[in-house]
Structure formats: C-alpha cells, structure tokens
Chain A
Amino acid sequence: MNAIDVTGLVKRFGEKTVVDQVSMQVGEGEIVGFLGPNGSGKTTTIRIMCGLLTPDEGEGRVLGFDLRTESLKIKREVGYMTQKFSFYEDLTIAENLEFVARLYGLFPVRTHVRRTLDDLGLTTRRNQLAGTLSGGWKQRLALAACIMHHPKLLLLDEPTAGVDPKARRDFWDEIHQLARGGLTVLVSTHYMDEAERCHRISYISYGRMLTTGTVNEVIRNAGLTTFVVAGARLNEVAAALEGRPGVEQVAPFGATLHVVGSDAEALRHSLAEFDGREGITVTPGETSLEDVFIQFMADAKDNMG
C-alpha cells in the first residue's frame, strides 16, 4: 500500500486554479522532495493531503484513508509541520509538547514529553518560552512536536527555510533516521542539496506536476545537454552566447560557464566557433538538477504567456 496515493487533485481559490490535476504516489518509508517555485501550489497540495483543505476535484487515499471522508483519521496518523512556526509562542517548550501529547492521547504525558525533549536535546531549554527561540530551535521544537505521536506520514512544508547549514544537516540526518524506521516523508523545499537527499523528487509549477522520479531520472528525462566553457574573459563569451540558436541557459559557475540547451546539435554548433579561441575550452559537462529546474521555470513562464 502506498502511503500517499492521490489522483487528479484540483483546488481553486476563486478564479485561480492553484492545484491542477495533481497526482502523486509515495511508497511507505520513502522520502519524497516536493519542489517548485514560490506560489506553485506546494503548500496547497500538502494541506489537501493532511485534510486542511478539501479538493474541488480528484480523490485519493492517504495512509489508506479516504481523503474526503476520513480526514479525521488521517489527522491522527500524520505529522504536519507548517511553513510558518505555528506553535504557541507564549507557552514554554515543555508546555507546547504537553499540549500536543494530551491532544493525541499520549499517556503518561510527562514520560512522553521527557523522552521527546531528550531525543531532540531540548531538555535544558524546556522552560524557555517558544517565542524567544531562534529559528533553528523553533524548527527543532516543531519537528519534535509533530513526530511525538509517532505518525506514519510526515508532511514538511519548507522546514529548513532560514535555518543554518549545520542545523539543516542535523535535521536531514534525523529525517533519514526516521525513514529507516518506516516513516514516509513528503518534504517541500527550494534547496537543491536537499532535493538530492530525497529518494525521489516531484516538481510542480503553476499547480501542475511536471515531473517525478529520482534525481538522475529527472535530469535524464529533461533531455538537456550541458557544456562547460572555461578560459579568460568569460563575461564577453557569455554575452556573445546569449540568444544563439540552441543556447537556453548561460550561467557562471565559479571560473566557468555552464551553457545548457535542449537541442544538443544546435548547442554544439553554436559553441563550436568559441572552442579554441583565445585559450577558451569547451567540454561536455554534467547537467545539474538546478539547470533542469531553471529550464522548467523558463518553460512554464513561456506557457503562461
């Protein structure tokens, strides 16, 4: 049984279709990254899955429960971490956790709270008001609170926004550890390195699911060719390449240029005249996930006019 199995989800707010025919299958124990530009419908899709929004069309099951009729059962088995910190800032860390423990019926409350505090290394700060915590600690608290009742599915909405790299790495280690224990995770993010830490990724743009698969599959399926241009005065080269047939992206990476296009032949042809000129070298390169996403975003914009 898939942890998430939804098809044809549609959600409209007024005239605007925010989620458009989104289907998604996530297997048990999988970590799936949910990517897409701002306003692409990631949060709305996640909210539909945890029963916070009712879809206008489409159906599906989450953890085997019907999305439309059994949202209360879904809520009990799902841990949802909101994008914005949404625990009580005027309650202490321990009080927030006690609140959650009682709501989920975790008895004895004291034991559950103490264990959670220990696991996350928050014991020394238990009496600190949640509102006075820094971003990283708030995120730890939120994660602690939403895995306290041992959910089977974790929905994380941009959990690491505004968190430093060390805390981010700790966070991901924690997620992988939980997944090894059988927890399914759907996590939305903007960070490429985080996407690469997922078993699979799904890319959504303007409410439409554009692609899904492992990182390598997504890159391969995008059908992009990349060349790395190295040498002197790359600014001029970049300017000269802009707009040439087959050249779709020109992006500086350190001392090199990444030139990306979907028409490999045209791209090679355009680059040929620069190769060898004034000590410039052109070599075939690896297409990165970021290149693929930039391409998606550019294409989506074209489609939208």
Chain B
Amino acid sequence: MKLSSTSMVFSWPRLAALLIKEFIQMRRDRITFAMMLGVPLMQLVLFGYAINNDPRGLPAALVALSNDHYTRAMVTALETTDYYRFGHVVESAAEAERLMASGAVSFVVTIPSDFARRVDRGDNPQILIEADATDPAVASGAISTLSTVASEALLREQGRQQVADEEARSRLEVIVHRRYNPELISQFNIVPGLLGVILQLTMVMMTSIALTRETERGTMENLLAMPASPLEIMLGKVLPYLVVGAVQVVVVLAASKLLFSVPFVGSLLLLLSAILVFVLALVLLGYTISTIARTQMQALQLTVFFFLPSILLSGFMFPYRGMPGWAQLLGELLPLTHFLRVIRAVMLKGAGLQSIAPEIVWLVGFVVFFAAIALARFRRTLD
C-alpha cells in the first residue's frame, strides 16, 4: 500500500477528497451560498444604520401655560440639545398625558403659568419634564443634559450673561473626555460588533448541520464504511466554512469603512489573526453541535440556543460591565464576548497584541475545547 494512505489518522488525499466534495456541494446549493454572502451585507447595512444607543430628535410635547420670553428661551435651549423635537404644543396636561400614553411623544415639558413671575421674583422657578421611561435608554441621555442647559438658558435670558459666566467658572468643573469615540457614534460600537454577530450566526448555523445532513440523507453510512478518519471528516467539514468566513470578514470590514467610516487605528494583521481564531472556534462549535443533534431541526434549535445568549450577554446589545456578576461570568464562556473585546480594542483603540493577549488565549482555548469535544463525541459506528 502507498505511503500516503498508510496513516489511519490523517492523510492529505483523504482530506482533499472531503474538501473538494464539500465545496462542490456548497456550489450546487445556490440559495445557501447566496445566503452566506448576502446575509452579512444585509444585516450590516440594516443594523448598522438602524441601531442607535443614544437617540436624538425624540418627539416631545410642550405644555406652555404662558407665552413669555422665558418660556420661549427655555424651549429653544431644549431644542438645541438635539434630544427634543417639539412637534406638539398643547393647552392642557390631560392632552399631553394622552399623547404620551399613546406613544406619540417620549417627553412632555410643562412650563407653568407662573414661571415668568417666579423667575423675576427669584422664587425658585420650576419646570416639569416627564419622560417615557419604558425604554430607559431613550430617556437617559435626554434627561442628563437637562439641568445645566435649562439653568444656563434662564440666566442668559434674564440678561445676566455675566453671572452665568461667573457661575460657570466657579462651578465644579468635571472634565469628560470621550475617548475613542468622542461623538458617541453608535455605529463605531455596533458595526465591529456586528461582524462578530454575523460570523457567529452563519458559521455556527452552517456547520451545525454538517453531520446531521449526512445522516438524514443516508450518506453517513457510506462515509463511515469508507476509510475516512474522524479528524479528516471534521476538518473536511469545517475548513470550507473558514473560507466562507474569510469572505464575510472582507465584506463587512470593507463596508464598515466605506459605509460607516468606522475608524481603524489598530493592526489589520492582528485583527485578521484574531478573527481566524474566532471563526475556527465558531465552526468547531457548530460541528460539535452536529455531533450532538440527531436532526437538522435540532441542530438549528441548538444554534439559536447558543445565539441568543451570545448577543445578549456578550456586550453586543447591553453594556457588559452593567450586568450582574453571574451574568458576566456566563458571558465569559461565550466566544463572542472575547471577540468583541478584541475587535473593539484593535479597531477603535489601536490595541496591540499584548493588551488583547488574554482574550486571544480564551479564543484559542475555545478552539481546543470544541475540537476535543467534537472528536470525542464523533461516532465512528452507527451504534
């Protein structure tokens, strides 16, 4: 027997056989193929433009019970923050209440009729801002800017520019530097994260049906009767998807530059190496699922089962540090969590290998862990 085929565990020609077969099948399955390339682009454009964590121009209603210059100044000041857009000016609190209940407005600003009088008398003037806090994210930014904006506007309007300046000078000054993303543009955070999410969804889903598809079509019996080793079968199944992943990465990175102008300050090579490890972990996770699931349906269910916590607990949707300790612990066990830290650090902060090394170690750990489980779970017989 020829030397090349004497190894029981691994031989290049046998791996080549499996790879070629997989690529041909991929090419024949046009819909899936189109999905693998089209879905990432679609999701990127859709979510990249749609998701915004610091919403502005929110609809607001004004209940102005008098129409003096203080009131007008106040409204102008609020509008210039960009958070409020006064589309409704109403006469009564009841009408404003109805607008908020129906969801037509997110804020109701009430300026009482004695506002001007109190200002002039220096008698603790008040305005009421009611926020629809059913979605806390909507309200927080708009509310946080309020008190300073309002008081400064009032002082200026009273002709006490000097006092305003003085007050501003003597007030405790808190200097805030918004590093890496000074304008708080959500896309800078969302778009790199989307790359991770898109890879997680497509890579795991495609590979999770790798073995169950063979079983359901009845080709598994034949494959097992032929001399292919578990390692070769695993590599033959996951490597083609590494190539698909590479195409997705190029598409998403190019789009994030062209469409969203996301800054890229770190090393591209470092990022691509990290992505390679991440994608390898994902395809092996998918393959592990396919050694557990008995049908393609079960495989897809398991994929979703992994996907939901991945987007919710990884820090993609919600701030990671804001989660309770146990949830953070769970998050650590998801490859996406570590990948998000890597890609945000490299793209936005220009982090080097040294600062992302712990995350890379985690990702390599996932690769080894999933590969070990998959090989251990692989059934070489039909028992």
Contacts and interface: CB of A to CB of B under 8 A. Distances in A.
A110 to B, nearest CB: 13
A275 interface: no
Interface in B140-154: none
B21 A52 contact: no
Interface string A85-123: 111111100010011111111010000000000000000
B224 A52 contact: yes
Interface residues of B, number: 31
Contacts of B226: 75, 100, 103-104
B166 interface: no
Interface in B204-227: 217-222, 224-227
Nearest to B28: A90
B42 interface: no
Contacts of B20: 98-99, 102
Interface of A is mostly: loop
Interface string A28-66: 000000000000000000010011111000000000000
Contacts of A105: 1-2, 4-5, 11, 13-14
A82 interface: yes
B76 interface: no
A72 B10 CA distance: 13
A80 interface: yes
Given A53-B381, A53-B382, A105-B13, A75 B219 contact: no
A103 B149 CA distance: 74
B214 to A, nearest CB: 9
Given A50-B225, A84-B218, A104 B25 contact: no
Contacts of B225: 50-52, 75, 78, 80, 82
A226 B79 CA distance: 107
B184 interface: no
13 contacts: A82-B218, A84-B221, A88-B25, A91-B21, A91-B28, A101-B17, A102-B13, A102-B20, A103-B14, A104-B5, A104-B226, A105-B2, A105-B5
Interface of A: 47, 50-54, 71-72, 75-76, 78, 80, 82, 84-91, 95, 98-105, 107
